[in-house]
Chain A
Amino acid sequence: MKNKNLPNGTRDEFGSQAEVKEQLQIKLLDLFKNRGFRKLTTPVVEYSDVFKPLSADNYRPYQFLDEQGETLVLRPDLTLPVARVMSTTGIELPVKWYYNGDVFRVKKRLSGSYNQITQAGIEIIGYKGLKADWECLQVALSGCRQLNLADVTVELSQAKFVEAVIRQLPLPDPTKASLKQALFDKDLSRYQSLWAPLTGTAFEKFLSEWPWLFGDFNQVIKIVETLPRAVEVEKIVKSLIATKSFLNQQFPEDHVTLDLSVPSPQSYYTGMAFRGFTGKSADYLFSGGRYDDLLTNFQKVKVSAVGVAFDVDALVERAELPVDQRQTLIYFDDDQWELAESKLAEVQNATLCLSQSRQAAKQLADSTGSRLLDLTKGRQ
């Protein structure tokens, strides 16, 4: 019998932790709504094919079969269902969605990790320009600000940068592929042996630093500028610099860093990607980016899109849980219900005490450290 156990990787949430989580979500959803985003809710259960673009290594879903033998999953991601909605409905573009819900990813058994992650996020669909990327960043950082998260670092990256540089390297194709993999794995030992043939070329300075090409924005750009000129790289750098000055202007107290040594956080990203973290968090607080090739509209035409999602559980982890305040128990007789209701509305942090006798009410107040408001005092 398993009627008293939770499956691995799941948990109950209650009390302060559950309440803080709810408050955080309400604040974020208000932020989205107040900026004119519309709500999109998709089902928790979808066909497994919807999530094919995800790399299977990172997102192992819970799977089961429907009555026809088709594989169903508990959704491991919230962006791909949006893609499904956009390609099957005639919704007019452009459109701005917000969503809030749980995603399920099966992690390693018995590792203490939690398989159900709550996300809240937005998708902006149908705008090609940088402005849409910037609104995502604006929403992400306004959200952090509203949740009183100080000292946030936004890390920008670009899905096309690595490929744009690798293409220029005078190396055979198989070496290029291995070099890229070693770079992405940050396998320094292997990386160093692979680029060694280019020592002494114009690429040397850049290649020697590439696995470390993240962190301080200006320093990263300085190293990129040692590369031989290439139109595509210059275009990427220009938009990153513009984005950095936008962020510095809007959120002068937050830090902007750059990472040009990583694969994009999702394989479907095609442009700028961004993630946020603080010095203390063990997880990224938000993550997003542009994905122009994933969405097609009803007529199978590709549609530009950019989105960002908060990891609500990581935010809760960072939030300070309120110290439980002393509660007031309102004890009353059966015929005093109306009076009790009015006291309930008047007194902060109060709740009706439903005990049958005054003595039981007193005991309850003593054992929970609550204050007792006794409306039956002086009555017989």
Chain B
Amino acid sequence: MAPIKIALTKGRTEQQVVPLLAASGINCSGLRNKGRKLIFKDDPRYEFILVKGPDVLTYLNSGTVQVGIVGSDILDEQTNFQYAMLNLSVGKCRFVLASTADFNPQQQRRKIIATKYPNITKRYFEGIGEDVEIIKIEGSVELAPLIGLADAIVDIVETGTTLRENNLKVYAKLQPVNTKLVVNRLALRQYQPQIKTLIKNLQAADQQAARANQIEELSK
């Protein structure tokens, strides 16, 4: 049987997920000492490729990989048609509406919102019946209200440190974000037993890790 190809989001998701993969019984030796490599075949059952988050769905939709591991922020932003089968306990953060202390959410004019996530922003404001001007920014979104490019921002917050350091305040909490395991619809049928095993083992490893984290939190 051909190995299952898994597209893993590189960077923080990769760092958080590799321990879970290892705990679920997958040989991750290559992923741990990766150098500049992008393809890893250390476990004969799986082939991992490292890609940028927004590219995970591109690979999945084309059927060139069977499984993707990616943040729900990207799935929500891109509109996902594949199966987001498993929530992992890592990568937990939240979308928020944030701005400077003098921002007035009730202001009587069309707001300008800067974000990396225009679709999520559009849906949020449509949901509360507001029409806003959206400016797409590629990074350091926090700058936008400080410099005067926008009235406020919609962005992901994990601990809130970056916001605090830039004197920004949270004005509304939007949807939560976490890392998800996504499976191509047809691949699930072609590789049913293997994918079921992968998910079962990963879910068990994730639950154990989540419990361990909880205990650690409590004993702090």
CB of A133 closer than 8 Å to a CB of B: no
Closest beta carbon of chain B to A266's beta carbon, Å: 15
Closest beta carbon of chain B to A89's beta carbon, Å: 36
When C-beta atoms are compared, the residue in chain A nearest to B58 turns out to be A111
CB of A259 closer than 8 Å to a CB of B: yes
Bound-complex Cα distance A100 to B143 (A): 55
Bound-complex Cα distance A69 to B81 (A): 32
Instruction: Indicate if the CB atoms of A186 and B85 lie closer than 8 Å.
Output: yes
**A186 partner, pick from B58, B83, B186, beta carbons under 8 A:** B83
Known: A214-B192, A259-B189, A279-B190. A188 touches B62 (CB 8 A): no
Instruction: Indicate if the CB atoms of A282 and B86 lie closer than 8 Å.
Output: no
Instruction: Indicate if the CB atoms of A57 and B85 lie closer than 8 Å.
Output: no
Instruction: Indicate if the CB atoms of B85 and A187 lie closer than 8 Å.
Output: yes
A contact residues, total (Cβ < 8 Å): 26
CB of B19 closer than 8 Å to a CB of A: no
CB of B163 closer than 8 Å to a CB of A: no
Q: Which residues of A contact B87 (CB under 8 A)?
A: 187, 189-190
Which residue of A57, A155, A186 has the most chain B CB atoms within 10 A of its CB atom? Answer: A186
CB of B22 closer than 8 Å to a CB of A: no
Q: Which residues of A contact B79 (CB under 8 A)?
A: 57
Instruction: Indicate if the CB atoms of A113 and B61 lie closer than 8 Å.
Output: yes
Known: A58-B81, A188-B86, A212-B196. A113 touches B189 (CB 8 A): no
CB of A19 closer than 8 Å to a CB of B: no
CB of B91 closer than 8 Å to a CB of A: no
CB of A215 closer than 8 Å to a CB of B: yes
Q: A96-140 interface mask toward B, CB cutoff 8 Å, 1 = contact, 0 = none?
A: 000000000000100111000000000000000000000000000
Q: A142-161 interface mask toward B, CB cutoff 8 Å, 1 = contact, 0 = none?
A: 00000000000101000000
CB of B97 closer than 8 Å to a CB of A: no
CB of B199 closer than 8 Å to a CB of A: yes
Bound-complex Cα distance A32 to B36 (A): 54
CB of B170 closer than 8 Å to a CB of A: no
CB of A257 closer than 8 Å to a CB of B: yes
CB of A234 closer than 8 Å to a CB of B: no
Q: Which residues of A contact B203 (CB under 8 A)?
A: 188
Instruction: Indicate if the CB atoms of A111 and B186 lie closer than 8 Å.
Output: no
Bound-complex Cα distance A211 to B188 (A): 11
Instruction: Indicate if the CB atoms of B61 and A108 lie closer than 8 Å.
Output: yes
When C-beta atoms are compared, the residue in chain A nearest to B78 turns out to be A108
Instruction: Indicate if the CB atoms of B84 and A282 lie closer than 8 Å.
Output: no
Which residue of A153, A189, A259, A282 has the most chain B CB atoms within 10 A of its CB atom? Answer: A189
Instruction: Indicate if the CB atoms of A282 and B189 lie closer than 8 Å.
Output: no
Near A by CB (< 8 A), chain B positions 27-86 give 58, 61-64, 78-79, 81, 83-86
Closest beta carbon of chain B to A206's beta carbon, Å: 17
Q: Which residues of A contact B190 (CB under 8 A)?
A: 277, 279
When C-beta atoms are compared, the residue in chain B nearest to A155 turns out to be B189
CB of B8 closer than 8 Å to a CB of A: no
Closest beta carbon of chain A to B185's beta carbon, Å: 9
Instruction: Indicate if the CB atoms of A215 and B63 lie closer than 8 Å.
Output: no
When C-beta atoms are compared, the residue in chain A nearest to B199 turns out to be A188
Q: Which residues of A contact B6 (CB under 8 A)?
A: none
CB of A283 closer than 8 Å to a CB of B: yes
Q: B111-152 interface mask toward A, CB cutoff 8 Å, 1 = contact, 0 = none?
A: 000000000000000000000000000000000000000000
CB of B183 closer than 8 Å to a CB of A: yes
Bound-complex Cα distance A186 to B81 (A): 11
Q: Which residues of B contact A113 (CB under 8 A)?
A: 61-62
Q: A198-241 interface mask toward B, CB cutoff 8 Å, 1 = contact, 0 = none?
A: 00000000000001101100000000000000000000000000
Bound-complex Cα distance A215 to B58 (A): 26
Please give 16 more A-B residue pairs, beta carbons under 8 A apart, in addition to A187-B83, A188-B86, A212-B196: A57-B81, A108-B61, A108-B78, A111-B58, A111-B61, A185-B83, A185-B84, A186-B85, A186-B188, A189-B86, A259-B189, A277-B186, A277-B190, A282-B62, A283-B63, A284-B186
23 A–B contact pairs at CB < 8 A? A57-B81, A108-B78, A112-B62, A113-B61, A185-B83, A185-B84, A186-B84, A186-B85, A186-B183, A187-B83, A187-B84, A188-B86, A188-B203, A189-B86, A212-B192, A214-B188, A214-B192, A215-B192, A277-B186, A277-B189, A282-B64, A283-B63, A283-B186
Task: Show the binding face of A for B, using Cβ within 8 Å.
Answer: 57-58, 108, 111-113, 153, 155, 185-190, 211-212, 214-215, 257, 259, 277, 279, 281-284
Task: Show the binding face of B for A, using Cβ within 8 Å.
Answer: 58, 61-64, 78-79, 81, 83-87, 183, 186, 188-190, 192, 196, 199, 203
